[in-house]
Structure 1
């Protein structure tokens, strides 16, 4: 998504935009590199929804993910999808939760990252179901999927981007999608809301941010350019084909959406008695 955003921003502004990967350290070194650069619009950050909850998930984060950044755009989002092992007899949310209430020790939830949308969806579904299912952390989606396919863990919430290809290849069993209504991205999947859990919506999303102090006129120009790019029909089709929905929001709308998500996420982590690492 960072590379797509860079390409589109370059096209719209007529400039060269270079993507420099800064990996490791739970994203902190890369984020700090952006904060330490001049706030002139020439150094910006491509990031994901886990950025917003850094302070709730990690200890001693040396910056404020909201106050220290200006969100230039949220470029796309991917709804969470629930999958299970294809050999399971339980194929619906209702069947799975009934079995988990009866024998909770026989079930476990994989999560690819603490504080991710998938982790929060897992906590919320367990809370709504009134049962505790063990949550097993993995270093990313790929190893979690391997263990789902092998039957070592039974359930996983993760982005449609990651799970729909596996589900459609019958490597895992798609159960439900965490959207308000059935999604055109996966019309074959019922929503979790249909199983009696209204308001169950969880998405991962991707964003472009600038350090605080970036001139408002520069931020507004980049917001307009990225929104225009995400509105391109070819871009929409490209994103939809990979399980993502393009977004077009003002800077104020993004701030409000992130604040609401952080508030909900912090409460879910509190309910789960999660302790920052």
Structure 2
């Protein structure tokens, strides 16, 4: 029996698709193989802050070990500006192939809550969280001329003459900024101003000079000043005391219930980073952060490993953003809408 033209059409269409299907099938293993072989060339690790700060310090420790682990050079590229948003925007536009990565601190999760009008990327949708790497408690330090030796005495001093005092922050929206705002709000001292500085150097200089009187800051930058007796540490913001300042109690020990604040650090890639690349970087990150040398290096900077895989890191970021939003609303921090 002969087939009609309408019967032959589907068969002809199927025959025409066979070469295309065969080509796709041959390319799929090649693509998977390329991802499995990652990396095959140098990797750029973008740090959206200037050299010398806490983010840069963590990045250089991580980059050195990542290069050894993956067998390719890892180049740290500082793209500073706009509270880290210039570097972040660059990575958000990068090809998602694993050759452009991004290391930043908790400010990555804070910026979208404060810069709603000017931010040029989506801090969640435009990135692939790879791993949290480390965290560090902040030092709560004051100018030595402030008449207080602990948090309880400081609160009394501030309440007695609030117009006499001010806090500093090394960057708008930084962990230290939110910690200061939260502390002042929880202690009924919201009328005390928080003075914005562009970086830790100017803030610490004015704190030592007495132009401002208190600061929440990562240990990397403040600890040398405390050890030199140029500043007085009244607390650390971690759940426990820091080995670097064993005689300085935590905020919780001094009656500041539920006050726990860390600057945390993680690594991201652009959105839609292939799963095999993410898995490889996850595994490398976990191994690196467990290395005794890295633990020692981080400890010397006031940090400790805090590794989370991609899924857990994503959930952690979501929870932190909700927490920061509450602090911003309660403290009435100005938002760029």
Tell me, yes or no, whether TM beats 0.5. Answer: yes
Counterpart mapping for 1:141-152 below 5 A = 141-152=200-211
Q: Cα deviations across residues 30-81 of structure 1 (Å, max 9, x unaligned)? A: 2222122211111111222111111112232121112221121222222111
Structure 1 position 183 matched with structure 2 position 239: no
Whole-angstrom CA distance in 2 between matches of 1:230 and 1:143: 32
Whole-angstrom CA distance in 2 between matches of 1:186 and 1:86: 17
Q: Give the CA deviation at 1:159.
A: 0.7
Specify the alignment match of 2:321 in structure 1.
262
Q: Which runs of 5+ in 1 are unaligned?
A: none
The number of equivalent residue pairs is: 277
Specify the alignment match of 1:136 in structure 2.
195
Mean CA deviation greater in 204-213 or 55-64: 55-64
Conserved 8 A contact 2:83-2:171:
no
Q: Give the CA deviation at 1:120.
A: 0.9
Q: Give the CA deviation at 1:29.
A: 2.5
Conserved 8 A contact 1:81-1:159:
yes
RMSD: 1.4
Q: Give the CA deviation at 1:129.
A: 0.8
Whole-angstrom CA distance in 2 between matches of 1:178 and 1:25: 26
TM-score by length of 2: 0.79
Structure showing greater radius of gyration is 2
Match of 2:95 among 38, 41, 44: 38
TM-score by length of 1: 0.96
Q: Secondary structure at the match of 2:78?
A: coil
Counterpart mapping for 1:219-258 below 5 A = 219-258=278-317
Match of 1:47 among 104, 109, 115: 104
Structure 1 position 95 matched with structure 2 position 95: no
Q: Give the CA deviation at 1:88.
A: 2.4
Which one has more relative contact order, counting CA pairs under 8 Å at least 6 apart?
A: 1
Counterpart mapping for 1:109-124 below 5 A = 109-124=167-182
Conserved 8 A contact 2:167-2:180:
yes
Q: Cα deviations across residues 123-157 of structure 1 (Å, max 9, x unaligned)? A: 11112111222111111111111111111111000
Q: Which runs of 5+ in 2 are unaligned?
A: 1-57
